[in-house]
Structure 1
Amino acid sequence: MIGTKWLAGALLGLPLAIALCTLGILWLPGGWEGGVIIGVTLSFVLWVAIISLSLLFETSLAAWLWLIGGNVICYGILWTVRAMNAMPPASALSAVTGS
């Protein structure tokens, strides 16, 4: 029975896919500006893969917990990298204002 496994993949899979692609493009040689189009494109492919793979969990609870854990880990890494000033700001405007 599918239950809400697909819902976990749909709701938690998109932010996880975006975080994973962001982690991937941060360390490209040209910087994140050169890989943002590829990252956005791949995030949708990865999202569909996460939705599909979420159906393989034994229970809906396991799907929800694993995807929440993945999101917490990925966004924790992104937050840590940003807090260490190792990641450039998202826009030139935020670099000027210091936000």
Structure 2
Amino acid sequence: MNGMGTKWLAGTLLGLPLAVALCTLAILGLPGGWEAGVIAAVTACLPVWVAIICFSLLFRSSRAAWLWLGGANLLCFGLLWALRLLHLAPSAALVSLSAS
């Protein structure tokens, strides 16, 4: 597999969770709470994911793409976890209970 193929793969596999995390972080600070922006965040995930895939092709090497995107995932999900521990973001259990 050549370099471009593995860069694209990195963007595809690591880009989706990164897009979800970025969109989630974006709605947590809304004035109406996360409930006010959840539809916009879900809708924005696809274009953000595609942008991450395109951006992943700009890395010099496949290794750099995997490392940077993996690090970005760790950072975003670590921040989401920290916000949850500080009770600044709802837990997934509370979100699913409020939806039913």
TM-score (norm 2): 0.88
Offset of 1:88 from its aligned partner?
A: 2.2
The alignment-based identity, stated in percent, is 63
Provide runs of 4+ in structure 1 moved above 3 Å.
none
Match of 1:68 among 67, 70, 85: 70
CA distance in 2, matches of 1:75, 1:36: 17
Offset of 1:93 from its aligned partner?
A: 2.5
TM-score (norm 1): 0.89
Q: Please tell me the residue identity of whatever aligns with 1:93.
A: L
CA distance in 2, matches of 1:14, 1:60: 17
Aligned-partner SS, 1:3: helix
Q: Please tell me the residue identity of whatever aligns with 1:15.
A: P
List aligned pairs for 1:37-52, cutoff 5 A.
37-52=39-54
Offset of 1:56 from its aligned partner?
A: 0.5
| Residues matched between the structures, number | 94
CA distance in 2, matches of 1:56, 1:79: 29
Structure 1, unmatched stretches of 5+, are 95-99
Q: Which has the higher helix share?
A: 2
Distance 1:92 1:46, change over 3 A: closer
Question: What's the Cα RMSD here?
Answer: 1.4
